[in-house]
Structure 1
């Protein structure tokens, strides 16, 4: 199968040849004809399989072939995404694919000045890629209109429809024309999300090119149990021992991200951070420096689990497990992209056993455990399986009680006689101990 056989125009085919695209991926092969035909779509596919091209290419063709010309402050295609980084990535993809087409495109997200975004909208846009919060800001200032909207795309739709975005989405949906094409793309769809999504779609075509909530087979996954207090020490040890090159590290909290970066820098490792408290210019600088190979370690919260497309990234490390199991799939999907291989290593402490079980249930895969010599956990991580069962409860390794020889003043190990075998404990206070 070729892109030409999918019905794409010569201008797009020429651009794809220049970009090195040879044959469509499974999700592209099924999605492109459906989008060209104007169908509503709900598409699930693993990360790194070309979902963005699956909707961007046919939409660019329809915008080129169909009128009318876009009016001032109006938008013909609206793409909503959950994070700033993903907004930039999707916008860049549209620009790359549509480089030879006479279309106007822009991206809008928070953390930077709204004025340049408003100026671009004044001329009208064929494609606007935006985060929900900034789009609502633009609407409140009458900077954007949807009278000419033809298509709405929710990229990473599971997160977009999650509770964290439901209020913003409700406000946005109320202003959109009811007659429109709606496309939902993501790597994961829970049953609850699927039910909610059906209310947004009209006779949708459902596409699943791989089993639901599965991880990419080209990514080797394993975990190392360790005590929570030794996670940073273990990571630095692994970095040196295994001679890792560039590593993307996911940490649960913003404070944790900054602490790990400070630790790495203090050891002479070039590292930077991405999280919600960082201003957008700083986040972009960190990402660009990582892509350029100027820094070795990029530490991030789940703001980076979606939207980071980094060529030939060999390792992803889960310093902390995600609180939402689906985010594990998106995290490790940053490596092993476009057919490449990669590693995903999780550093797990006993407190995270329920998160570990949730991930294994979702992915139907029990992570291989590899103990690191010298870092054996004192608080043992329970053994789990894909049925969500905890097979062994965590136990703290007990140290023998130590008493002091009053004469020699040296510690000696003792074993206390069980009171249950001592006449019910009646002689427990006689001051005698068996050594």
Structure 2
């Protein structure tokens, strides 16, 4: 199936061709026809499935085909983080470049002047984070009485990050008559309850369950003492086959410490987290994408929405407390049909987190032994070990190179998006 078979209009097909995309992902194949019929949608999809395009493309088409122009905001996309909001806005710009649909993005942490100036000019599509949206609504800059479509993205992350009450405050201000799109990677009880309230006779689309997501990614586990994690990271980065790495820490302070250690070893790296300015975060991400940085160290919140098709490695410097976050993290690699590699460090205090992660993904992560900084055997739980003294193979299976994002037929497929502690 290609995009031509989904009933899309020429301006959007042209934009997709300009981006080099011809083959829709499974969620796009399922969701686009449903949304073009103006049905409500419940989408259960992991990061990296092409979810943003699955809703942005049909929304642009519905707006473009309206015969009578109605002033005011017609579409609201609510998303948990600045980075994800920016990337969704960029998606609307890319897919809608041959239309006259206007859009803007608002988020906290920066001056509101530029955002309010854009709102005063009038926009069709507003992408927002909950806090800044409520703030500008209270100041009178935003009116949603003409809203036609509401998209709640990453609903489970909203819950994890403590934004769910802000989301509910937004919902009560929406017109009752609207089309609602609800996306969540997982469906805990509170999220299911919210979906039941928001949606009317929704179509349900569910793709890429957790087990399938992680099966596409080579995973490896290193038992290591907490004080030796920096040394192990440097040891791994000495291998030139490890081209780029997105390294996850639990805290902002931890991210900064890792970057300092890497700089001392002349390894190009930068940190992104909530204490960094928006410009600093965007510059770091840009430098990482264009190869000026080899390592990007991130907290989970700051990494939400990072979309890099050819990222080769994810390294969990610290295991996450929420097992679903592990899937979100490693889903940053192995995109667009490529094989990715995810390496995790586990110290004596993280065995509970490891157990919960392995229970969620339904498999035991293979252990690398023989590295220079092993955890004491008395503290090391049993796990299927790789061959003694085996060094991780940093080259992806199937010969996928760092820049290979095409399938066997030469077609490009595309996909892809808890509070931080100091």
The answer, yes or no, to whether TM exceeds 0.5 is yes
Matches within 5 A, 1:331-410: 331-378=329-376, 380-383=379-382
Other-structure match for 2:316: 318
Other-structure match for 1:57: 57
Other-structure match for 1:39: 39
Give the Cα separation in 1 of the matches to 2:328 and 2:84: 12
Other-structure match for 1:123: 121
| Structure-2 change in CA distance of 1:139 and 1:163 (3 Å) | same
Give how far 1:162 is off.
4.1
1:372-413 deviation digits (Å, cap 9, x = unpaired)? 43212126232379xxxxxxxxxxxxxxxxxxxxxxxxxxxx
Other-structure match for 2:416: none
Which of 185, 188, 191 pairs up with 1:187? 185
Give how far 1:202 is off.
1.0
Give how far 1:344 is off.
0.4
Give how far 1:287 is off.
0.8
Give the Cα separation in 1 of the matches to 2:94 and 2:359: 38
8 Å contact from structure 2 (residues 83, 303) kept in 1: no
- TM-score, with normalisation over the residues of structure 1? 0.85
Other-structure match for 2:137: 139
Unmatched runs of 5 consecutive residues or more in structure 1? 386-435
8 Å contact from structure 2 (residues 232, 372) kept in 1: no
Give how far 1:163 is off.
6.2
Which of 322, 327, 330 pairs up with 1:329? 327
Give how far 1:125 is off.
1.1
Give the Cα separation in 2 of the matches to 1:325 and 1:305: 16
- TM-score, with normalisation over the residues of structure 2? 0.87
Give how far 1:81 is off.
0.9
Give the Cα separation in 2 of the matches to 1:134 and 1:336: 33
Give the Cα separation in 1 of the matches to 2:301 and 2:201: 32
Higher Cα Rg, which structure: 1
Matches within 5 A, 1:29-428: 29-66=29-66, 68-71=68-71, 74-162=72-160, 164-212=162-210, 214-241=212-239, 243-378=241-376, 380-383=379-382
Give how far 1:327 is off.
1.0
Q: Secondary structure at the match of 1:370?
A: coil
Give the Cα separation in 2 of the matches to 1:304 and 1:328: 15
Give the Cα separation in 2 of the matches to 1:13 and 1:147: 31
Give the Cα separation in 2 of the matches to 1:384 and 1:134: 46
Give how far 1:184 is off.
1.5
Other-structure match for 2:411: none
Q: Secondary structure at the match of 1:382?
A: coil
Range with bigger deviation, 188-197 or 97-106: 188-197
Q: Secondary structure at the match of 2:162?
A: helix
| Structure-2 change in CA distance of 1:109 and 1:213 (3 Å) | farther
Give how far 1:242 is off.
5.7
Q: Secondary structure at the match of 1:365?
A: coil
Unmatched runs of 5 consecutive residues or more in structure 2? 385-422
Range with bigger deviation, 237-246 or 330-339: 237-246
| Structure-2 change in CA distance of 1:241 and 1:17 (3 Å) | closer
8 Å contact from structure 1 (residues 290, 297) kept in 2: yes
Other-structure match for 1:17: 17
Give how far 1:192 is off.
4.0
8 Å contact from structure 1 (residues 70, 126) kept in 2: no
Give the Cα separation in 2 of the matches to 1:127 and 1:195: 27
Give the Cα separation in 2 of the matches to 1:182 and 1:288: 33
Give the Cα separation in 2 of the matches to 1:122 and 1:29: 36
Give how far 1:77 is off.
0.5
8 Å contact from structure 1 (residues 215, 363) kept in 2: no
1:308-338 deviation digits (Å, cap 9, x = unpaired)? 0113110000000111111111111111111
